[in-house]
Structure 1
Amino acid sequence: MDANMLAVLGIVVLFTLMFLRLPISFAMMIVGFFGVLIYASPRAAYNLLSADLWNQFSSYSLSVIPLYIFMGEIIFRTGVTEKLFQSAYKWVGHFRGGMASTTILASAGFASISGSNSATAATMATMSLPELDKYKYNKALSTGSIATGGTLGIIIPPSTVLIVLALQMELSVRDLFVASIIPGIFLTLLLIVTVLGLCRLYPDYGPSGERSNMKERINSLKDVIPIGLLFLFVIGGLYLGWFTPTESGAFGAFGAIVLSLLMKKLTWERFKSAMAGTLKSAAMVLMLVVAAMVFGRFLAITRLPFTVAEWVGQLPVQPIVVLCAVLLIYIIGGSIMDALGFLIISIPIFYPMVIALGYDPVWFAVLLCVVTSLGAITPPVGINAFIVQGMTPDTPITTVFKGTAYFFVTYIIFISLLIMFPQIILVFV
């Protein structure tokens, strides 16, 4: 069989297995192994599962993933996120739409220590929904702001998705973390402006809350500032070259434990829960990364990605047209399956093609992270929308998607700005 046809057949089999609800990592491993076995030789396939798999699992660079996950788990289990929400409300809650703005602002804060969109959405839904209902917020706006705020979890560093992208694309974790800071802050502000604009047009959507005095606002920062300082130390030290990404993760995890102990928030039960959560999340991510190596090796020997890159490079269209088509595929892909899973599957196919068009790899990696996060709030299977709906079963999923639609235009504007002005991403890289 022709190599390219075999690769295409392998991709079809992969998606078939996924739709049959086989875990993505297992599906990639099976297709990659049998693809190499058929196209190359049984010896090459067995070597892929022995030597190559061992080398990937024993890679020092992979240790950064469980370290950052553990840091987020410790902070989450000790209840600091509740203080984060309360502090944000003290500062912006008195505006019309302030409670929804608080949710987005708190989501950005939690995202900076979580690195997960689903965890951010679930946490904010638990804390925000009762308060939003108490102030009689429009249901679509309240659920939509929670689901959309959760998307910041994979954009603002330290993001697990950015780490995986760095490993897959052979880029610097430091560069991706630094490059995503300004876009993460910019997107947070745009989402807040969207909420405030909607509530100005429709005042009954988001009534204003109680105004806090300056003393109350300053006091609310007491439990938040230490976490902010930890974040600045971890990311700042990485940027300044004080330590490597893995050392940064280790400092972050150790710092989170020390801070939690000093604040008397860490119990033995919470520590065990954080360890269990870390093991579960890290195992899932590491399996995805290793399975992607097996699948990517299969695609590489068939040369399908390079054939596609060469074909696209000869098309009589501007590179921006091809880029927009690729981004549209990522929006659709992110809407029907887990963002990280789709990224890992598709990077071996699209990354060589886009780089062949002359685009900066760091810029493209951060742009992909933003675009795929949009899929988490897009029908039919926007995972964040279903997480929020699960927290308020009386609310139809259509209402949640109506709420996320308010922010869809904001996202498109933001993505367009990143394309038109690449320096928004690359200014500090």
Structure 2
Amino acid sequence: MSDFGIGVGGLLAMFALMVLRMPVGMAMLAVGYFGTVVISGSRSANALFVTETFSSTANYNLTVIPLFVLMGNIASVAGFSSRLYEAAFAWVGRLRGGLASASIVGCAAFAAVSGSSVATAVTIGKVALPEMKRFGYSNALATGAVAAGGTLGFLIPPSTGFVLYAILTEESIGQLFMAGILPGILLTALFIGTVTLVTLRDPDAGPRGAAVSLGQRMTALFRAFPLLTVIIVSIGGIYLGVFTPVEAAGVGAGLVIMIALAMRKLGLSDLLGSVMETVRTTAMLYLIVIGASVLNPFLALTHVPETLGSMMTSTGLGAYGVLLMIVIAYLVLGMFMDGLAMLVVTTPIFFPIITGFGFDPIWYGVIAVIVIEMGMITPPVGLNVFVVKSVAEDVPMSTIFRGVLPFWIAMAVCLLLIVIFPQIALFVPQAMFN
């Protein structure tokens, strides 16, 4: 069998292992290691395993992951996330569909702390879904807004998706974080616009909430101020060049812990629980990084990326035609694969093709993250849909998928706008780093 055939067989074996519920990182690690054994022998495979495992986990930039995860976990157990939702509810809850819009705003704000789509959907969902049920919101709109809003955790910095993309492509984490700001704001606005359109079509889907006085709104905003301060300091520090992303993560985590302790919102058991949850999440992400570091050299040996690249460029579709093919491939993979798994598996294959056409790698990183976000709410897997289902157990899966469809269309519109107007993603990083 040719090396290319071995590579394709290895990828098929990896997908089969994922279907059999093997952890993503272990599936990549097994295929990368044993594939290298077949091509180059056990000595080369053992050397690759040792060197890549050490070098990937010793990467200083990866420190940003546990620090931002810890920051999000502390903010959640201290109740800061519910304050974000309460503040958004106070300001927009009286509008038609206002609670759904407040859920999206709350997701966007919490995404700037957690960096995780799943954590964002679970945290805001636990607070927002009971409130929307109490006010008579349709199950489709309520669950759809939370599931879609949760995906903002993968786009708005700090994003674990951007961190892994930066590690895999050797791009700047800081530039990717900055590139996610305007697209994140744009997508949040499109989600809120979607809520408005849904409630205009069916007013009963999102009735108005109770009117809130200006004083109560200011009070709610003041209660959310501690976490907003952390967001401004950490993300603003990166933008102003005061902190590197790793330093910003450390400052943010330290501030959240100090504020929670000062407000007596964090007990010892809460702190230990947050630390253990951070360790579990970090271990899972590090295993994915290790698996990717062993898989990528195997793919290079089989010439799979360059062969696929040659096949795609020879179609004569042009740069944007190939980009469309990549987007469609992501959408298809999103029906069956976890977002992080998609990013790690496909980036070594698609990235050389994209850069070969002269596309900006930072811009493509934003495109890839948004398409992966779309996969998070695409049937039949739709990870965020399953997460929301775990919170809203009485709502059928079909209802949740029907609810996310308008938001999926909004994400497609956002993607199209960024393709047509690349400066939406590139303006902030270019202004900051050039």
Q: TM-score range by the shorter chain?
A: over 0.9
Is the contact made by 2:180 and 2:366 (CA closer than 8 Å) also made in structure 1?
yes
Distance in 2, matches of 1:330 and 1:384, equals: 16
When the two chains are superposed, the root-mean-square deviation of aligned CA atoms in Å is: 1.2
Query: Shift in Å at residue 159 of structure 1?
Result: 0.9
Q: Is the 8 A contact 2:115 2:156 kept in 1?
A: yes
Matches of 2:245 and 2:87 in 1, distance apart? Answer: 30
Cα offsets for 1:272-293 (capped at 9, x unmatched): 1110110000000011011101
Q: What corresponds to 1:145 in structure 2?
A: 145
2: distance between equivalents of 1:31 and 1:300? 13
Distance in 1, matches of 2:148 and 2:373, equals: 9
Give the letter aligned to residue 394 of structure 1. D
Give the CA deviation at 1:52. 2.5
Q: Which residue of 1 aligns with 2:96?
A: 96
1:15-414 superposed matches below 5 A:
15-414=15-414
Inter-partner Cα distance in structure 2 for 1:335 and 1:248? 34
Alpha-carbon distance in 2 for matches of 1:368, 1:241: 26
Provide the C-alpha distance between the structure 2 equivalents of 1:169 and 1:223, rounded to a whole number of angstroms: 40
Contact 1:122 1:387 in 2 (8 A): yes
Note the residue ranges of structure 2 that are not aligned, 5 or more in a row. Answer: 430-434
* Structure 2 SS opposite 1:66: helix
SS for the counterpart of 1:427 is helix
- State how far apart, in whole Å, the 2-side matches of 1:238 and 1:323 are: 30
Instruction: State the TM-score, normalizing by the size of structure 2.
Output: 0.96
Rounded to whole Å, the distance in 2 between the matches of 1:369 and 1:427 is 18
Shift in Å, 1:240: 2.4
List gaps (5 residues or longer) in structure 1: none
Distance in 1, matches of 2:52 and 2:129, equals 47
- 1:409 offset after TM fit, Å? 1.6
Conserved in 1, the CA contact under 8 Å of 2:129 and 2:143?
A: yes
Give deviations 1:155-209, integer Å, cap 9, x for gaps.
1111111111111111100000000000001100110011012112211111101
| Conserved 8 A contact 1:309-1:356 | no
| Residues 1:7 and 2:13 are matched in the alignment | no
SS in 1 for 2:223: coil
Deviations 1:107-135 (A, max 9, x none): 11111111111111111221111111111
Is 2:156–2:184's contact at 8 Å kept on the other side of the alignment? yes
Per-residue deviation, 1:394: 2.0
C-alpha displacement at 1:307, in angstroms?
2.3
Deviation at 1:148, TM superposition (A): 0.8
Q: Which amino acid aligns with 1:47?
A: A
1:52 and 1:377 map into 2 onto residues whose CA distance is: 33
Distance in 1 (CA, whole Å) between partners of 2:115 and 2:203 is 34
Q: Is the Cα–Cα contact under 8 Å of residues 231 and 252 in structure 1 kept in the other structure?
A: yes
Amino acid at match of 1:58: A
Contact 2:292-2:345 at 8 Å conserved across structures: yes
Give, in angstroms, the shift of residue 314 of structure 1: 3.0
Q: In 2, Cα distance between the equivalents of 1:177 and 1:422?
A: 16
AA partner of residue 379 (structure 1): P
Residues 334 and 376 of structure 1 are in contact (CA less than 8 Å); yes or no, is this contact kept in structure 2? yes
Distance 1:380 1:96 in 2: 31
Q: Please give the alpha-carbon distance, in whole angstroms, between the structure 1 residues aligned to 2:189 and 2:19.
A: 37
Partner-residue secondary structure (3-state), 1:61: helix
**Partner SS for 2:156:** coil
Deviation at 1:317, TM superposition (A): 1.4
Moved over 6 A (4+): none
Asked whether the 8 Å contact 1:100–1:145 carries over to 2, the reply is: yes
Aligned residue for 1:423?
423
Q: Is the 8 A contact 1:313 1:356 kept in 2?
A: no
Cα deviation digits, residues 207-233 of structure 1 (max 9, x gap): 101111111111111221221221121
Answer whether contact 2:114 2:153 (CA < 8 A) is retained. Answer: yes
Q: Distance in 2 between matches of 1:150 and 1:243?
A: 27
For 1:209 and 1:54, locate their aligned partners in 2 and report how far apart those are by CA, in whole Å.
54
Are 2:319 and 2:357, in contact at CA under 8 Å, matched by a contact in 1? Answer: yes
Q: Is the 8 Å Cα contact of residues 52 and 290 (structure 2) preserved in structure 1?
A: no
Paired letter, 2:44? A
1:355 offset after TM fit, Å? 1.4
Give the percent of matched residue pairs that are identical in Structure 1 and Structure 2: 38
Amino acid at match of 1:186: L
Amino acid at match of 2:309: A
Contact (CA 8 Å) 2:313, 2:322: kept in 1 or not?
no
Aligned partners of 2:117 and 2:335: how far apart in 1? Answer: 13
Counterparts of 1:380 and 1:48, CA distance in 2: 36
Q: After superposition, give the CA deviation of every residue in 1:39-93 in whole Å (9 maximum; x if it has no partner).
A: 1232211101222322222222221211111111111110111111111010000
Structure 2: how far apart are the matches of 1:27 and 1:201?
A: 46
CA–CA distance in 2 between the matches of 1:8 and 1:200?
A: 49
Amino acid paired to 1:204: D
CA contact (8 A) 1:72 1:113 kept: yes
CA distance in 2 between counterparts of 1:43 and 1:359 reads 38
Q: CA deviation at 1:315?
A: 2.7
Distance between the aligned counterparts of 2:145 and 2:51, measured in 1? 47
